[in-house]
Amino acid sequence: MNIGQAAEASGVSAKMIRYYESIELVPRADRRESGYREYGVTDLHRLGFIRHARDLGFSLERIKVLLGLWSDPGRSNADVKAIARAHIRELEGRARQLNEMADALRSLADACDGDGRPDCPIIASLETGANVPACHAGDAPAAPEPPVPRRKLRARH
């Protein structure tokens, strides 16, 4: 089947199928004389796998590893599980960050009357940074700070 049919059947756009081929996430598809790509059930199966992994938020980089494990009959499910757990942590971290932002903004919005006057705690907090979760603060508990930055950051003006 052609790339269009493969796209529809797998749920991966033709554009992306070509892209996946170009970055060698999938092997180069068979070609007809005309140069048209030709797909079979095996290819569809692989594209479906990729799509499901994308639906779970895996990066293409990690999907490449998963595909390798998939096609490895001697794989260890511990390896798969480790990748999955690392990914879960990432997802949770990102979700937590988004929720923190949403929570902070919600409390600001709740404090805003929205009655048409210019007074606005949201704007005020953006000005001062009060109640705004510092992005990535807490990721690096203590700045490594290279021992003796001798003449760095000279005071000027």
Partner DNA sequence: CCTGCACCTTCCCATCATGGCAGAGTCAAC
Partner DNA sequence: GTTGACTCTGCCATGATGGGAAGGTGCAGG
- Summarize as ranges the residues that interact with a second copy (CB under 8 A): 1-2, 4-5, 8, 45, 48-49, 51-57, 66, 69-70, 72-78, 80-82, 84-85, 87-88, 91-92, 94-95, 98-99, 101-102, 104-106, 108-109, 112-120, 122-123, 125-129, 132-135, 153, 156-157
Residue in 41, 140, 145, 156 binding DNA, rule: CB under 7 A: 156
Q: Which is nearer to DNA, 79 or 90 (CB)?
A: 90
Q: Which is nearer to a second copy, 18 or 132 (CB)?
A: 132
Q: Which is nearer to DNA, 115 or 139 (CB)?
A: 139
**CB 4, min distance to a second copy, A:** 8
Strands 30-31 and 37-38: what pairing? antiparallel
**CB 118, min distance to DNA, A:** 26
27-56 residues in contact with DNA (CB under 7 A) are 29, 32-37, 54
Q: Which is nearer to DNA, 138 or 149 (CB)?
A: 149
Residue in 9, 11, 14, 133 binding DNA, rule: CB under 7 A: 14
CA distance 13 to 114: 44
User: What is the SS3 assignment for the chain?
Assistant: CCHHHHHHHHCCCHHHHHHHHHCCCCCCCEECCCCCEECCHHHHHHHHHHHHHHHCCCCHHHHHHHHHHHCCCCCCHHHHHHHHHHHHHHHHHHHHHHHHHHHHHHHHHHCCCCCCCCCCHHHHHHHHCCCCCCCCCCCCCCCCCCCCCCCCCCCCC
